[in-house]
Amino acid sequence: MVYFALKYLHLIGATVLLGTGAGIAFFMLMAHRTGEAVQIAAVARIVVVADFLFTATAVVEQPITGIALAWHVGYSLTDGWIVLSILLYIVTGCFWLPVVWMQLRMRDLAEAAASKGLTLPLAYHRLFWAWFAFGFPAFAAVLGILWLMITRPAFRFFL
């Protein structure tokens, strides 16, 4: 029963991570494509809240339920697929944390432009392209983890 409860939570975390990540990227991209500071500010405001509410919760929950599962099932944390997953998780974090900051800045810049009736500043456009570029490795690493979780390939980093 404990095993299924842990796995259930772990899978909810996985779907939230992938779903929120893809959803946020899509809505931000669509808002950006309008070129309208008012729309971008509105979407970025929601995206920032969604990232703190859903992604951040799942980011914390995922390794906790994952390590608890490994312990419960009897996997060693030095198994290759677990080590590689944790490394990829760190890679994701290294790209996701700056993305959170970029979203905050893009929201503020879009709000400032909207309130003054100005066009989006160059700083916004620079941030948008950095945000766009950072999303790919972050999302690819999560997809890699998903593959490792499902296939659990047998290899070791350590003897």
State CA 154 to chain mean position distance. Answer: 27
Applying CB under 6 A, the residues found at the interface with ligand HEM are 7, 10-11, 14, 17-18, 62-63, 66-67, 69-70, 73, 75, 82, 85-86, 89, 142, 145-146, 149-150
Q: Which is nearer to ligand HEM, 75 or 132 (CB)?
A: 75
100, with CB counted inside 10 A (0-12, 13-18, 19+), is: middle
Minimal distance in Å, beta carbon 61 to ligand HEM?
Answer: 10
Q: Which is nearer to ligand HEM, 13 or 127 (CB)?
A: 13
Q: Which is nearer to ligand HEM, 37 or 58 (CB)?
A: 58
Minimal distance in Å, beta carbon 15 to ligand HEM?
Answer: 8
What is the DSSP-derived secondary structure letter of residue 157?
S
Amino acid at 86: I
For residue 34, CA distances in Å to 28, 41, 125 come to 10, 12, 13
